[in-house]
Amino acid sequence: MPDNAPGPAAAVLCGLAGWVPPRVVTNEELAERLDTDDAWIRTRTGIRRRHVIEPGQATSDLAVEAGCRALRSAGADSVDAVIVTTTTPDRPCPATAPTVAARLGLAGAAAFDVGAVCTGFVYGLATAAGLITSGVAGRVLLIGADAYSTIVDPLDRANAIIFGDGAGAVVLRAGHADEPGAVGRFDLGSDGAHEDLITVAAGGSRQRSTGDEVRRGDRHFAMRGNEVYRHAVTRTAESARTVLRTAGWTIDDVDRFVPHQANLRILHSVTDDLGLPRERCVANVDSVGNTGAASIPLALADAAARQTLRPGDRLLLTAFGGGLTWGSCLLTWPEMAVHTGPEPAPHTHPHDRGEETAS
């Protein structure tokens, strides 16, 4: 290969946006209806508030908002494929992605959903990269969108405090592995022996085929939080180490660690375990809660808008979720058009000024 030949084919990040619905739910508001308080929530999770959709809204509404801003960020008016990764699809059938594609004016593009619970965004990135490097697609819109408020029991204090609604989206184009923004290496894994740790029992073929009446609680999200917590810390750190090893990176090569925003204590435990200074860990869980498949692109969009992510930064993305599933990805942050909107008032978060976090 001549010296100036491009590197191997890769999917390159070229657009990014995050969006959360305007309605804010503070810890104090939750404490009015649940046996909990702001201090407990902040100490155990690091969360101060989260955003939720209005009655009548659905995941596709979040996905469309983030998707159109990501397309604008990429300067793209067409893509070959739209992937929506979500645990809260608009309905079991059909997938949410074709609806989102049509509403974005992208009818005709391939469109499908990816389900990997909170690991969905990393799985979706790997899927998008596969479509691009195999030559099936030249440009892909990947949206992580979840509306957990539609599946969490509002009276379940353990879960109602953690989750928030939101969407984050990226656009990927065909390029080369040595370009900034090229995604990969990846580490992806699962362990279905622990499928019962995070579940929504009703709505799928298993319960329907028994013919039993659906119990009210089975429609709700259930999580054995304490056990999940332990798995999250160990599996996330293991996956991060694996992807670093396969890429020949050391932990010192990581400028920004962007983990799934599950709980600030988990983020800090993993950061410490990896031997990374905590200031390299990107965290916005305090203001959006755990937004499932949206959490990594929302954290990226927030950090880009705040300019704590800079072109050339080497990033380690790591996620963990139901399944159990986990995944990690490495990339170098590219130059990208980031629209931060009007200047924030002192001490306000971008979400206070509207819903656009970056585009």
Residues in touch with ligand UT7 (CB under 6 A): 36, 40, 44-45, 118, 157-158, 161-162, 225-226, 228-229, 232, 262-263, 266, 290, 320-321
Closer to ligand UT7 by CB, 295 or 357: give it: 295
Closer to ligand UT7 by CB, 121 or 333: give it: 121
What is the residue-wise DSSP string for 15-35?
A: EEEEE--S-EEEHHHHHHHSS
**In the complex, minimum distance from the CB of residue 157 to ligand UT7, in angstroms, rounded to a whole number:** 4
Enumerate the H helices of the chain as residue ranges: 27-33, 38-45, 59-74, 96-103, 120-133, 157-160, 205-210, 225-247, 264-274, 285-288, 295-305
How much helix, strand and coil, in percent to the nearest 5, is found in the chain? 40, 25, 35
**In the complex, minimum distance from the CB of residue 161 to ligand UT7, in angstroms, rounded to a whole number:** 5
Closer to ligand UT7 by CB, 67 or 321: give it: 321
Closer to ligand UT7 by CB, 39 or 136: give it: 39
CA distance 119 to 260: 8
Closer to ligand UT7 by CB, 44 or 219: give it: 44
Closer to ligand UT7 by CB, 229 or 249: give it: 229
Q: Are 333 and 343 in contact (CB under 8 A)?
A: no
Active site residues: 118, 260, 290
Tokens 């050339």 map to which residue? 312
**In the complex, minimum distance from the CB of residue 281 to ligand UT7, in angstroms, rounded to a whole number:** 15
For β-strands 314-321 and 198-200, DSSP reports them as: unpaired
DSSP helix/strand/coil, 37:
coil
Question: By C-alpha distance, which of 122, 125, 165, 145 is closest to 21?
Answer: 165
Residue type, 342: P
CA angle 240, 318, 321 (to 5 degrees): 115
User: Six-digit token pair at 190?
Assistant: 């699962």
**In the complex, minimum distance from the CB of residue 227 to ligand UT7, in angstroms, rounded to a whole number:** 8
Residue nearest to ligand UT7 (CB): 225
User: Six-digit token pair at 122?
Assistant: 């990393």
CA angle 19, 25, 29 (to 5 degrees): 175
**In the complex, minimum distance from the CB of residue 158 to ligand UT7, in angstroms, rounded to a whole number:** 4
**In the complex, minimum distance from the CB of residue 292 to ligand UT7, in angstroms, rounded to a whole number:** 7
